[in-house]
Amino acid sequence: MSANFDSIRFHDQRKRIFVTQLREDEEEVEEETSHGEESNNVIQRFPVVREKAGQLIETGFRTHQKTLLLKRQNELHRVDAEFNQTRSEFKAKMDKYRKQEEHLIRERRKLTERVNNFEKFIDENNAKKTRAVLKYEKESKLKNQKEDELRSMKMNVEKLQNRLSTLKRKIAKYQIYEQFLMSAVDELPEDYLESSDNMVSSLMQRYQTLIEMNESIQEHREVLNEKVKECQQILQDSSYDAAQNLLLHNKELAECRERFEILHNENTEKETNNIQKKQKLISSSEELGEILLAIENLSSFCGSKNVEEKFSTPELKLKLISTYLQDREDVYQMTCQLIQQSLPQQPTQNSSKPSTQSSTRSSRSR
């Protein structure tokens, strides 16, 4: 056993092959190897594998692509078989559902036929019922109409009887007047009335025409009186309106005159202000022209022609003049400093005078 054990040689294992292997495993292996250095044969510890076989094949660095391809093909065959099985099951279920659907369609057709027949039966019964109701309503309406006609005829008979009785009373009442008229006709001259069969009726007609003529004359007089009143009222209203309009027109004329005077005064003031403004603008434009001419002269004095072309606007020309004066002032200060450095030192009073003189000169140049 010892000889066989000595003949076993283990290859050095690659460290940290799997992600699940920790740093502690390496430290333990190093401790064991340090304790086991006395013997020539060293046995190293294998890492504990906790992953599945499929994962080891996929993540192993020695796994060939062919094995992976075979594995994927097996999985593909398995998935195809499952898919075919499910498709066959789905097809069987669809056939079953199609048969059930056809059965339901037949039952539905039968049910719709029964419903249609029942609806036809109900429609026929309703039609019979409506015809019977219409007939009953028609007969009852005719009966009520006849009863109303009977009542109206009874009422008309009663009215005619009452009218007959009243006429009889009136005949008895007016018989006295008839006798009076007959006696008056006998007393009238022959040419007073037109020749007719019934002289009493012609007399009554003449009397009626005279009454109607009188009434029409009275109505015409009242109409004329109303027209006269209306014309007088219209005349008063028109005279009052004319007076009011005259007053309003006079008032508007006075207001227009006042407005005209105000506008005339305002226009005169505006004209004077415009003249003053024009004079001010003329003077300011002259001053501006003089200022621009002075700036042009100073800029031509301060720079060359090329510089003047670059500084075309008055603002740029003023900047050119200010830079020119600043340069002159800097040159003057530099010369003063050089003169002071070349001369011997003098009292502080003498030294302060050039600075004041330079400041005054710079202010003057500005």
DSSP 233-253: HHHHHHHHHHHHHHHHHHHHH
What are the angstrom distances between the C-alpha of 102 and each of 106, 284, 359? 6, 107, 118
CB contact at 8 A, 10 and 43: yes
Residue 50, pLDDT score: 57
Cα–Cα distance, 274 to 269 (Å, whole number)? 9
Concatenated DSSP letters of 47-77: PPP-S-HHHHHHH-TT--HHHHHHHHHHHHH
Q: Is 291 helix (H, G, I), strand (E, B) or coil?
A: helix
Query: What sign does the dihedral 292-294-296-298 (CA atoms) show?
Result: negative
Task: Annotate 266-295 with b (16+ C-beta within 10 A) or e (fewer).
Answer: eeeeeeeeeeeeeeeeeeeeeeeeeeeeeb
Q: What is the CA radius of gyration of the chain?
A: 71
Asked whether the beta carbons of 318 and 307 are under 8 A apart, the reply is no
* Other residues' Cβ atoms within 10 Å of the Cβ of residue 317: 21
Look-up: residue for tokens 């003189």? 357
Selection from 32, 36, 38, 39 nearest residue 6 by Cα = 39
Q: What angle (nearest 5°) sits at the alpha carbon of residue 248, between those of residues 242 and 250?
A: 100
Residue 42: strand, helix, or coil: coil
pLDDT along the chain (366 residues), means of 10: 42 45 48 50 47 55 68 87 91 91 92 92 91 91 92 93 92 84 74 63 80 91 92 91 91 91 90 89 83 78 57 73 81 85 58 45 44
How many of the other CB atoms lie within 10 Å of CB of 302? 19
In the DSSP assignment, the letter for residue 15 is T
d(CA 289, CA 296) in angstroms, rounded, equals 10
Exposure string over 108-134, b if 16+ CB within 10 A, otherwise e: eeeeeeeeeeeeeeeeeeeeeeeeeee
φ and ψ at residue 343, rounded to 5 degrees? -80, 155
- 10 Å CB burial of residue 147 (0-12, 13-18, 19+) is exposed
Q: What is the pTM of this model?
A: 0.24
| Distance separating alpha carbons of residues 291 and 289, to the nearest angstrom | 5
What's the pLDDT score for residue 147? Answer: 92
> How much is the pLDDT for 317?
76
Helix or strand (DSSP H, E) at 78: helix 65-187
Q: For residue 336, with 0-12 CB atoms within 10 Å meaning exposed, 13-18 middle and 19 or more buried, which class applies?
A: middle
**Are 193 and 203 contacting, i.e. CB atoms less than 8 angstroms apart?**
yes
Q: Which pLDDT score is estimated for 347?
A: 46
Which pLDDT score is estimated for 195?
58
Structure tokens at 2: 């010892």
Between the alpha carbon of residue 112 and those of residues 76, 98, 117, 127, 225, the distances in Å are 51, 21, 8, 22, 90
